[in-house]
Amino acid sequence: MTEVNNKLLDISWGSILKIAIASLVFYILFLVKDVIVWVIFALIISVLFSPAINFFHKKGIPRGAAVVLVYIFIFGILGVSIWMIAPVFGKEIKSFSDDFPIYFEEISPLLKGLKIEAFESFEKFTLTVQNWLADASTNIFTALGAIFGGIFAAVTIFTIALFISLEDKGVERMVAIFTPKKYEAFVLTLWEKSQRKVSGWFGARIISSVFVGLMTFVVCSEYVLKIDYAISFAFFAGITNFIPIIGPLVAGIIIALLTALDSWLKALFVVAAFIIIQQIEGNILTPILSKRFVDLPPALVLIALIMGGKLWGIMGGVLAIPIAGILFEFLRDFLKKRKEENAVMV
């Protein structure tokens, strides 16, 4: 009897120790949750850049040089694009702010019907905005911390991504370490296929968004409808196009409403042009680009955007899409394999 009690006591102490260790691990993970998110985002960036790096590496370029070339090329394009667009974008924003009082007076009869005090007059609207800005900047140290924290996080993420990319098949080796031997080949095959398809999907969405942005600019430019703020509208349409279904709808409505402040006829042309652009993008361009790649369900993309946005803002929402795509591919292929195994057993 005493031996049984001792055995039970040993099991109890062992269970307590396991619970304590598990609690400590979860607590540590909670403390470093931001760092874990950074590492995950860095991993996703390296996955997205991986096809281009592997392409140059197979052409005989050393991996280190290929990594540097791809990173410099991608960030160089972003930098040059920002450098070229920023002055015009800033000019359009300033022009809109100068003309806003006129626009406000035109739409104020409609806004007053909402029974919101801020819309009763332009002076009250301006005062409301000033109060909101004052409340938002009450704690200057918090604001500065958020700014520099974001910059530090971005630099850290891209630095980690660079080092991950420099390591040849580093992720594959890590996956192999944490995968049982009998499933290792299957999981590695899934991983390779998933990252290839998700990278392709991501690239296809970027090309589609660039197409929508350029076509919006052409329609709004001085050579066609001669609408003010063509650069801003094109940028907005391109960015929102990344969000399936909802993005183009919101962009079209907002651009049409802002155009209607100048001319209802132009606004109707904008709506018609937006419908045509979306038909071309959705029925011709996207199917061609996505022929070899996974077609992620729109609901999955929206959920990933929301969850990623909660973790790290807009960039988090965008980078969460590849994570969702990889998990989607893994789950789909895993269930397909299980179904085939069950069919063979039957």
pLDDT score of 251 more than 60: yes
pLDDT-derived band at 214 (thresholds 50, 70, 90) equals very high
| Distances 295 to 231, 289, 324 between C-alpha atoms, Å | 30, 10, 12
The larger pLDDT score, comparing residue 261 to residue 141, is at 261
Listed range (90-99, 102-111, 154-163) with the worst mean pLDDT: 102-111
pLDDT-derived band at 137 (thresholds 50, 70, 90) equals very low
Q: Which of 269, 262, 212 is nearest to 236 (CA)?
A: 212
The larger pLDDT score, comparing residue 213 to residue 345, is at 213
User: pTM for this one?
Assistant: 0.67
Residue 212 has a pLDDT of 92
Q: Encode pLDDT of 165-195 as tens digits.
A: 888 777 777 777 777 777 777 777 777 777 7
- Taking the C-alpha atoms of residue 160 and residue 151, their distance in angstroms, rounded to an integer, is 14
Q: Encode pLDDT of 290-346 as tens digits.
A: 665 556 677 777 787 778 777 666 666 666 777 777 778 777 777 777 777 776 666
pLDDT score of 80 more than 70: yes
- Taking the C-alpha atoms of residue 259 and residue 269, their distance in angstroms, rounded to an integer, is 10
Q: Quick check: 270 and 257 in contact, CB under 8 A?
A: no
Could you tell me which residues come within 8 angstroms of residue 103 by beta carbon, excluding any fewer than 6 positions away? Answer: 261
Residue 344 has a pLDDT of 66
4-21 average pLDDT score: 62
Residue 125 has a pLDDT of 63
Residue 216 has a pLDDT of 92
How many CA atoms are closer than 13 Å to the CA of 141, on its beta-carbon side? 0
Helices (H) and strands (E) in the chain, counts: 12, 0
pLDDT score of 141 more than 50: no
Residue 314 has a pLDDT of 61
pLDDT-derived band at 272 (thresholds 50, 70, 90) equals very high
Residue 211 has a pLDDT of 92
146-164 average pLDDT score: 72
Average pLDDT for the chain: 75
Residue 130 has a pLDDT of 59
pLDDT-derived band at 114 (thresholds 50, 70, 90) equals low
- Taking the C-alpha atoms of residue 139 and residue 23, their distance in angstroms, rounded to an integer, is 35
pLDDT-derived band at 147 (thresholds 50, 70, 90) equals very low
pLDDT score of 71 more than 70: yes
Angle at 280 (CA atoms; ends 223, 79), nearest 5 degrees: 65
pLDDT score of 276 more than 80: yes
Return the DSSP state at 1: -
